Structures are given as structure tokens and as C-alpha cells.
Amino acid sequence: MDKLKRSFYRKSALELSKDLLGKFLVFNKNNKKFIAKIVEVEAYMGEHDKASHTYMNKRTKRTETMFKDAGHAYVYLIYGIYNCLNIVSGDKDLPQGVLLRGLEPMNEFDTISLNRFDKKYNELSKTQIKNLTNGPGKLTQALGITRDINGCDLTDDILYICEGEETEFEIIESKRVGIDYAEEAKDFLWRFYISDSNYISKR
């Protein structure tokens, strides 16, 4: 379970997004170590991507994190209630990132269930199990990821990513979700997911 190095993140968001599939996300909080497999992602390509917060290199207090070097976490509030987690890619001053949209939990099932539904894992319905982490707002709620870790360095110990299992999987490409305002960019096939995963937000 070795932590991936900065060099792993130093590529375009489009390349990184596919490379992230199947990897393990590790998050340390309250003396717990959450481990979850990354199964769904979206690439946000920054300057030339109308769907990106950093379209036209828009640099504000909120988007500042996206301009950091590759291998940082960008966490922002969406619709007033949910947090979304992105992995900053590219390079310093190249504001690209990968939105994590689906995770498969590997441990701490009871903690995750309590965070989402205030119930233990063995009390969940089948639908609730699927809904634990199959969306960008759901997975942050499940792991307890909030904006207080915005900007944290993935080469430190709070949040990082490890190599996954050596299993084969099929990658599906599709349109990104929730960006109808983005004109032609809304049709780009920049969402990627593992075809047979149970934790995909939208087929």
C-alpha cells in the first residue's frame, strides 16, 4: 500500500482520470483509516473547458487550489450542502483536476453507514448499500471529507492514493454529469467508470 508520488499526478486531467480508476483512496480521520477503490471519475481540463471552475484561467479564492502543483486535493461546496473532492493534476499554474464521483468502500463499513444513514452496515437495505458512495456528494459524506482538507497535499498522510489490485477491468467513457450550462463541452466524453462496478452514479 505505497503512496503514489507527485510524479503520478503530473499529467493532464484526461490521462490522470483514467489512471485513477481502480486505485485505492486512503483517508485518515479521527484515528480511522478509510480505504476505498476509485470506480468513477470526471476530467476537468481548466482553461479551455467551459465546465471547469477554472475556465479561462479564472483565478479566485475558491479556485486557487486548482492552480497548485499536481497532487493536491480540491474540495468545494456544491448546491449549498454537498462537498465534492477533486484531485489536482497537470502542473503548477495549470488548473486541471479530476472529480471523484464513485468509490467502492473496502473497510470501515459501519462508520461509513452511520455517516450516511445513521445505521449500522448490516441494517442497510440493498439500495442503501449501493447509495453509500455512488456520487460525488455521497462519497464525501460517507468518508467525512469536508472543505477543511481543501488544498491538502496527497504526498502527506491525511489523504492519499495507492496502487490498486492487479485486476483487469473495462473502462466506459461517457458524458459528464450536471454541466448543461457548458455548451459544446457538455457533450465531451470525459467521464470514466469501471463497467461492472456497483458504485456508479449514473449508467
CB 78 to DNA: min, Å: 5
Residue 49 Cβ vs DNA, minimum distance, rounded to whole Å: 8
Q: DSSP characters for 66-102?
A: GGSPSSBEEEEEETTTEEEEEEE-SBTTB--EEEEEE
Run of H or E residues at 128: helix 126-130
Minimum CB distance to DNA smaller for 22 or for 136: 136
- Nearest CB to DNA, comparing residues 110 and 168: 110
State which of residues 131, 146, 155, 174 lies at the interface with DNA (CB under 7 A): 131
* Residues in region 35-94 near DNA by CB under 7 A: 42, 44, 51-54, 58, 60-63, 66, 74, 77-82, 84, 86
**Which 91-110 residues touch DNA, going by CB under 7 A?**
97, 99
- Helix 136-143 and helix 109-117: axis angle, to 10°? 120
Residue choice 34, 135, 154, 185 for contact with DNA (CB under 7 A) = 135
Q: Min. distance of Cβ 5 from DNA in angstroms?
A: 23
**Contacts (Cβ under 8 Å, ≥6 apart) of 186:** 50, 51, 175, 176, 179, 180
From CA 99, how far away is CA 83, in angstroms rounded? 11
Q: What is the DSSP letter of 9?
A: H
Cβ proximity to DNA: between 3 and 62 the closer is 62
Q: How far is CA 196 from CA 72, 103, 126, 138, 170, in A?
A: 29, 13, 17, 20, 8
| Terminal Cα distance for the chain, rounded | 30
CB of 31 to DNA, least distance (A): 26
Site mask for DNA (CB under 7 A), range 172-191, x = bound? ----xxxx-x----------
The residue (of 60 and 167) whose beta carbon lies closer to DNA is 60
- Closer residue to DNA, CB minimum distance, 56 or 157: 56
Residues that bind DNA (CB under 7 A): 42, 44, 51-54, 58, 60-63, 66, 74, 77-82, 84, 86, 97, 99, 116, 131, 135-139, 176-179, 181, 201
